[in-house]
Chains A and B, each alone.
Chain A
Amino acid sequence: MHMADALLSPAVGGAFWAGTIGTIGYASKRLSERLDDRTIPLMGVLGAFIFASQMINFTIPGTGSSGHLGGGMILAVLVGPHAAFLVMASVLTAQALFFADGGLLALGCNIWNLGFYPCFVACPLIYKPLAGDGRSARRILVASLASGIVALQLGAFSVVLQTLLSGKIALPFTTFLLMMQPIHLAIGIVEGFVTAGVIHYVRAARPEILDSSSSSAPLAAGISLRSVLIGFVALAVATGGALSWFASTHPDGLEWAIGKVTGKDELPEQEHGVPAALKNVQEKTAFLPGYGFKPAAGEPKEKTRETQTPAWPNVDAGTSLSGLIGGVLVLAMVLGIGWAIRAFRGKRSAPPSARPGL
């Protein structure tokens, strides 16, 4: 699943941009040190291949729903992790531009989630050891399944983490996690099957492709498996630490977030001159009125606590009304400007016959 700009904070988006650009630089450097010239067009065309294959839908057996290919695992196995990461990065960049899948700030997160885990974690740490020399179809299947699942679980976990750290949504961590991980378990299994199938197919038709990729791009040439593992564990400990700190200092993530946003916890002033009846109606019709939030998922509706102070930026009726009027005016003005420019252009542009060329 693609992360979206609107769910991100600049800090989280920026951090993953930095991480992604760093990894792109690292992979480019490693690759150009011992690059076979012919890999340059190969990688580029493979990017287009992944892009195109992702657009082909297929039916997932037993569910009737349709699936799409991720492709990171296939690439990592067939051309090696560094090249695969660069290809995935270029595919996701093109998608961010052409489909606006997620957006530009989220691009760093998306490359990380969908490129880093399959290429640098799942492939070297799970696929390679499990598949061995890759001659047994059974081992390929097991390896693909395991690595597909792990890559997607890590990716989904990453999405949850990025969203949570950005603080734009109210969904509690555990609930979000419980929604995301099982979905991605299914997606990972499908990805694993497809990866195994394609590798098997390629192995049967052009075995030399697989042999050359595994020999020409061993990850171990640059960094040893052990250092990757250590780095990964360190990363896990760090994130775990950060998370538990977050959880312990802010048992109620939501309250913390709101408090942080507003910096106040006083009741908004009652509006002047508004009939109480209207307010009553509003409260009734508002979706889940009252501050009955309880972090434990599952039964948020039943728990109606004593109405607490709904924290909200000092709602001074005057400012609020001005803001509303101004907001609507600004929006109208903006649209008016756009419309005027278009109208002007439309009038100015000559009829097609008078246009030069074409």
Chain B
Amino acid sequence: MRFEAAYSGIGRLDRLSYRDTVVHRLDPRAKVIATLLFVVAVVSFPRYEILSLFPFFLFPVLIGALGDIPAGFIAKKVVAVSPFAVFVGIFNPLFDPGVVAIAPGVLVSAGWVSFASILVKFALTISAALLLIATTSFPGICRGLRRLGLPALFVSQLLFLYRYLFVLMEEAMRVVRARDMRSFGKRGAGTLVFVRIVGTLFLRTVERAERIYGAMLARGFRGEVPSIRRETLRPSDAVFVLAAGCFFALCRFVPVPQMVGRLVRGLAG
């Protein structure tokens, strides 16, 4: 069941990435760079920081809203991958019990604060990564990476992987379904059956690769996967990166929430 859920999750992200919105139309490079800046800015906060992270939510919220990405879907995926971060972070309260005041009169142990900080950072970075793929087609990201200087061979690997991901996942899913259908109880799901399934899939994959190679040769392949795409960065892309960068810098070095709070309290009297 996990397999099918994961498969449909990928399929959904993939379909979202071919929409046509302002965000989708931005150059992949611009989005990759902005997302990386975002992640670095977020994780560069010290471990007890929570409030100063809040303004950063503007980035995923804006991208998600303007890119017309269902918020619930992204939120569910973030929760789904959280176990490791939670598993490691949950020990903070145990080993870091110093008392801190999070508000006047509200004391908690420092570990809870750093744990909460990990969770907030986690939500921010993971949702940003998911939104990147939800608003940029995978081939787009690959072309962006190529332009950013990654080796052509590696990028062509990514592209092939993407192309055959769905084909092979469907193949694997059919096999798993057949296994689960005929394995009553646990017996069919054991390691030996798994090895046989993986072995068969491997051989089929190799044979498929041979056929693909044949098809490539038939169309003049001579060791180089050509590309005709020549995107140029438009002014809007540059503006996007610049604006995002400035915003991240602002939120990183200026305590925005404190200032807003002071302002509000000042206004209130």
Contacts and interface: CB of A to CB of B under 8 A. Distances in A.
A198 B160 contact: no
Contacts of A40: 153, 156, 160, 213, 223, 225
Nearest to B194: A58
Contacts of A317: 101, 104
B91 A169 contact: yes
Contact of B93 (A59, A287, A329): A287
A27 to B, nearest CB: 8
B161 interface: yes
B136 to A, nearest CB: 9
Nearest to B263: A326
22 contacts: A6-B125, A6-B126, A40-B160, A40-B223, A42-B209, A48-B164, A58-B194, A86-B157, A97-B133, A97-B138, A198-B195, A198-B198, A201-B196, A258-B98, A261-B47, A273-B104, A293-B96, A308-B98, A320-B101, A325-B261, A326-B257, A331-B57
A103 to B, nearest CB: 5
A4 B260 CA distance: 31
Given A206-B203, A271-B104, A342-B65, A327 B125 contact: no
B161 to A, nearest CB: 4
Given A6-B119, A41-B209, A105-B125, 15 more contacts: A1-B84, A6-B118, A41-B216, A44-B160, A44-B163, A46-B202, A47-B157, A99-B81, A198-B195, A262-B48, A271-B105, A286-B108, A293-B95, A327-B257, A345-B68
* Tier of interface size on chain B: 35 or more
B72 to A, nearest CB: 12
Interface of B: 2-3, 6-7, 9-10, 13-14, 35-36, 39-40, 42-44, 46-48, 50-52, 54-55, 57-58, 61-62, 64-66, 68, 71, 77-78, 81, 84-85, 88-89, 91-112, 114, 117-119, 121-122, 125-130, 132-133, 138, 141, 150-154, 156-165, 167-169, 171-172, 175-176, 186, 189-203, 205-206, 208-210, 212-213, 216, 221-223, 225, 255-265
Contacts of A38: 209-210, 213
Interface of A: 1-10, 13-14, 21, 24-25, 28-29, 31-32, 35, 37-38, 40-49, 51-53, 55-61, 64, 66-67, 69, 74, 78, 86-87, 89-91, 93-94, 96-105, 163, 167-172, 175-176, 190, 193-194, 197-198, 201-202, 205-206, 209, 254, 257-258, 261-262, 268, 271-274, 278-279, 282-283, 286-293, 300, 308, 310-313, 315, 317, 319-327, 329-331, 334-335, 337-339, 341-342, 345
| Max chain B C-beta neighbours (<10 A), residue from A64, A261, A279, A327 | A327
Contacts of A167: 47
Given A323-B255, A327-B257, A330-B256, A55 B118 contact: no
A42 B133 CA distance: 25
B201 A168 contact: no
B161 A44 contact: yes
Interface class of chain A by DSSP: helix
B9 to A, nearest CB: 8
A47 B160 contact: yes
Nearest to B108: A286
B125 A288 contact: no
Nearest to A331: B54
Contacts of A104: 35-36, 39, 125, 128-129, 132
A7 B89 contact: yes
A9 B172 CA distance: 37
A170 B205 CA distance: 45
A37 B257 contact: no
A243 B197 CA distance: 43
Contacts of B62: 337-338, 341
A116 to B, nearest CB: 15
Contacts of A9: 43-44
Shortest 6 CB-CB contacts between residues of A and residues of B = A44-B160, A326-B261, A201-B199, A197-B195, A322-B261, A326-B257
A308 B100 CA distance: 12
B98 A105 contact: no
A270 to B, nearest CB: 9
B110 A310 contact: yes
Given A169-B114, A327-B261, A279 B107 contact: yes
B31 to A, nearest CB: 11
B61 A338 contact: yes
B157 A282 contact: no
A287 B221 CA distance: 64
Given A323-B258, A334-B57, A341 B66 contact: yes
A262 B96 CA distance: 14
Contact of A59 (B119, B172, B190): B190
Given A97-B132, A330-B55, A168 B109 contact: no
Contacts of A3: 84
Given A10-B43, A52-B172, A274 B202 contact: no
Contacts of B199: 197-198, 201-202, 205
A329 B191 contact: no
A177 to B, nearest CB: 13
A44 B159 contact: yes
Contact of A91 (B6, B161, B258): B161
A309 to B, nearest CB: 9
